[in-house]
Amino acid sequence: MTFAGRQHETIAVLDYGSQYAQLIVRRVRECNVYAELVPWNVSADELAQMAPRGIILSGGPNSVYDTGAPHLKQHVLGLGVPILGICYGMQLLAHQLGGVVAPAQAREYGLTEITVLSPGSPLFAGLERSLQVWMSHGDRLDACPSGFEPIASSENSPIAAMADEARRLYGLQFHPEVVHTPWGKDILRAFCFGVCGCRGDWTPGSFVEENVRAIRERVGRGKVICAVSGGVDSMVVATLIARAIGEQLTVVFVNNGVLRLGEAETTRQSLQRYLDANVIYVDASERFLARLKGIRDPEQKRIIIGNEFIAVFEERARELGQVDFLAQGTLYPDVIESATAHNSAVKIKTHHNVGGLPADMRMELIEPLRYLFKDEVRQVGLALGLPEALVYRPPFPGPGLAVRIIGEVTAERVATLQQADAIVRHEIEAAGLGRDIWQYFAVLTPLKSVGVMGDSRTYANTVAVRAITSEDGMTADWARIPYEVLARISNRIVNQVAGVNRVVYDISSKPPATIEWE
């Protein structure tokens, strides 16, 4: 991996399949310590190359006694660095070292009160003796391994936390990474600083400095072409690379015909204002729409758009002469949801930045944001001097409105959705809700229904409104928008957008739904 974050002190988070594994990484990074998620069976060489200051074992769905359950590799213990096991990770650590793990007589799920037995432990330094935590386990630890002592207990778990202070090995039966454990971040901070001795020097500013240096070293005298969509991810990538190599970068902004209303012009203005690089604008809207004609399957739409983007870029690259690199705004959630070789996730969808690239593409990829979450990208954007209005724009998918139009994508249907989507965005922002809601947009469904306008019967389109709250896009909940705002949105869409007579509001969370409809 070429990501510059590893030049910092690192906490390695071993993934044992917990739904909260990504949260552990986030919480550690919020302490200004770089953390990276790696498979539980990471090789000895790769783990040693990371030179971690500490290791966290995530939770997981297994019992340590399950046949084929993930186990703790000996080379993890052999590094001699501090280890913190969480839930299954604690049970695994105890089991590996001779402790006794058994099915709990009473399982613990949800909020639980623990009692701190060893307030002098660095993990609980400065915290109250009684703490609310989030439990989620069926097995429990009945006996500590040799050298360990219980440092916290609950009603149903006599060993809710354990420690071998001499070897700097710790275990927590509860989940400190979730918001339901109010002091959880303090515990993780104590592990990083009090136990591992981290300095906490991983900041947006240091990320910019190190990646500018890394990009210069990798590119050398080569040329880079960068796709810009107008969203924060691609703008941050382009600005970061421009900072590193200046005129060696050519930015290509492609109008694919499925952008938001007015997007083409506002993006061109932003590029001219904030980027010190060569900028090429390509209006390929007719070309993209022609390729999408008759296509209804969402995966096919994503693949077609991804391939067409690359085709456009390579055409421009040939016009520019030799271009060596293609830069993209791929983020960590994109990688995870597209099921890379670094994890065992089931593929939910092909992301245009991850799974939709031709195998014979001749340019090398540069993805400096590949291991960042969206909120971290925004902080990097601010560190680069980009304005808040651009940095805090709602995320917009690379395939654009094509995956917000259910069914075939046509110029007429795009125009309908553009108008409806503009109304949704305007009303939410006018209500002062833009910073509180992670993402908000309209979806054009294939449903038509009967309505009445004036004295006439109508049979017209249904638009769905989607608005969600989230920290990183990995999980999400539907936003509780005030009824009066929803009423204004519905009233304006029905009255101002031709061919629409019904508006519905999506109240699905992720999971089980995804943020986008396709």
**What gap in Å lies between CA 403 and CA 38, rounded to an integer?**
31
**Active-site option among 8, 95, 175, 351:** 175
Report the interhelical angle of 263-274 vs 232-245 (nearest 10°).
30
**What gap in Å lies between CA 194 and CA 424, rounded to an integer?**
47
Is the four-CA dihedral 414, 420, 426, 428 of positive or negative sign?
Answer: negative
Q: Any alpha helices (H) in 137-203, and if so which ranges?
A: 184-189
Tell me how far CA of residue 254 lies from CA of 208, 327, 419, 504, in angstroms: 26, 14, 21, 32
Query: Do 14 and 39 contact (CB within 8 A), yes or no?
Result: yes
**Active-site option among 9, 31, 87, 518:** 87
- The enclosing H or E element of 266 equals helix 263-274
Short-list 327, 396, 476, CA closest to 2? 327
Query: Do 59 and 89 contact (CB within 8 A), yes or no?
Result: yes
Region at 319 (left for phi over 0; alpha for psi -120 to 50; beta for the rest): alpha
Query: Do 211 and 240 contact (CB within 8 A), yes or no?
Result: yes
Helix, strand, or coil (residue 181): coil
Query: Do 283 and 255 contact (CB within 8 A), yes or no?
Result: yes
Query: Do 501 and 460 contact (CB within 8 A), yes or no?
Result: yes
Q: Is 177 considered catalytic here?
A: yes
Short-list 52, 117, 63, 138, CA closest to 94? 63
Q: Which residues pair with 342 in a beta bridge?
A: none
**What gap in Å lies between CA 260 and CA 268, rounded to an integer?**
13
**Active-site option among 36, 108, 177, 337:** 177
Rounded to an integer, what is the distance from CA 517 to the centroid of its chain? 18
**What gap in Å lies between CA 176 and CA 133, rounded to an integer?**
7
**What gap in Å lies between CA 242 and CA 237, rounded to an integer?**
8
Sheet with 54-57: list strands edge to edge: 34-39, 10-15, 54-57, 83-86, 169-172, 161-164, 149-154, 100-116, 130-143
**What gap in Å lies between CA 250 and CA 235, rounded to an integer?**
13
Q: Is 87 considered catalytic here?
A: yes
Query: Do 77 and 47 contact (CB within 8 A), yes or no?
Result: no
Is the previous residue joined to 512 through a cis bond, with omega within 30 degrees of 0? Answer: yes
Short-list 471, 475, 399, 487, CA closest to 438? 471
**Residues carrying an active site annotation:** 87, 175, 177
